Structure 1
């Protein structure tokens, strides 16, 4: 290509950077693919000298396609972290080939990739916060859009990054008592806010691999670090709702069963609260997994005497009794008050006391003007 033609292409490139949806894109693309090394260098430098504008992402996509300039090369040539994040935000809204390239590069093991990974992570964090405020703040579900462009291990890395950022957004300690009392309200709020939104579709991408989701949750529980219970419950609900085959059912059943075993073995109130929260969410979403909540409660609590030691039974009943004041759902309290609990020898008083206090708390919730002290 001669000097005049090259300069004309540079001029058109500048024009396209400043505009959206210009015609004759195929002709422009064809010209890019037939450039020699020298002409590519000229066009690359011309693009890098221009300020980022409304058409820059589309032009960069075409330059990357023609092996002139990649998204990672361009981003790493910038000095401003703020500008890097602004550009990555544009990639999150459109031009998913650029975003996929950035993800692939950011998860490689070298110094430049680590630098890019930090900027990308901050962009994901900011966007997730924005989606919490406005679940349609972006036009499309970028995780679905880039999924076909990534290899399996890259998909898992970016999904886990999102899970960690979403669940790790909680800064203060877990208020499990509040969660027990407000779970039904949270569930209705999340469904009302998210149903039919871009954020809902993005979150569904995070739970397609249910084994991976459960591993992330287990790791958070193992580290005893704060995490967003509201989002964890929503993800678990979506995972249960999407469960249609036996392997996934077994995964969720084992997760709850293992967590209850931890309650019995450790005697920790936090573990009991979590297993009740998780089991209730799954039962509410899909009764094919654990059954209805009364059925799960009968099998797990009502018949635990057949699988635990006497002291473990007593410890678990004491935990359940101590948890009663946090309960606010009359239907669930009714289950606890009526489902039979088989007790070991000389342990029936623990069960009777528990049921009596459940009934007393039900009466208190039905008549708030009355004051009932739970011993």
Structure 2
């Protein structure tokens, strides 16, 4: 039987129980939202963090308990109704209701889409073989870690953040080969000098990196992965494959509801979708950014949390100035701590800032004489200074800026 909740007074429904959704729900309470708050989580477990899945947990240093984001008890104490294992099926925008997988109808005055992203598939033959994994969910990480113990020949498709973090964890278990379809690791998100340092770190641990390597198919024996076939005809033996070729924003619900979707749910500079009662945040939202030349989709914990806190404040406190937080990112591989402040285009220039310490690197990205981003390896102090510097607005690359960004 259909039920309807939250019909009286203000009610906020948050769809998605990742970092963005949980932060939005809790921040609403912190900002004094007194109406009903419902958090829908499609997975049948308590909310959890995604970054540890490819870092501490996959490497064996952490347990499942360590990646828990919050408990159901903590959510209840904050007055948040957490609906575990419940999916949003449709949005009735005219009546302002969310229809869920249990036959319920949740009324809302504010709806927050925090639907995240899905692992992108290659779409090649053999991708369904046993032993071919992706890594997006906690269940994915649990299954992959269990396979590491018996794996001897591990192929990782994708030389981005996720692929390299998986390679770092896998290197302790077997022979690891990373396939990168371009001529550079992190080709869309880091400069050539930083990518070169990371590649050297992986090679030093025995990881083989093949560039300009595209997958044509996977082949198996008795339904299990046995070989990866490259587009140029090369064949790699494999008993475990991890496909890490990025993530696609999950816009299915928004599209069904008739909201504007363009490689993400399209939102304005206050994170409002085409419907003023609906916001989209985190990995599924494409929004204007004061530090970029065009609307962008950012998939990072920092972006998800900043979006969530902004929307909660905007809803609870009234209209705010446009969202303009500076983006920053991080990745840890072995003893290499990569941190990036700002948003650079692949063709932005690169200026290396000299360092007296051989294990540190600072690369400044430049466009039209202005700093667009600062990339650091093992220089957390510089990263913090870079965030403070870039948050103030456009910064010219001059002696004063270079001095502040010196390791």
Taking structure 2 as the reference length, what is the TM-score of the superposition? 0.23
The structure with the largest strand share of the pair is 2
The higher relative CO (CA closer than 8 Å, separation ≥ 6) is in 2
Taking structure 1 as the reference length, what is the TM-score of the superposition? 0.24
The structure with the largest helix share of the pair is 1
User: Who wins on radius of gyration, i.e. which is larger?
Assistant: 1
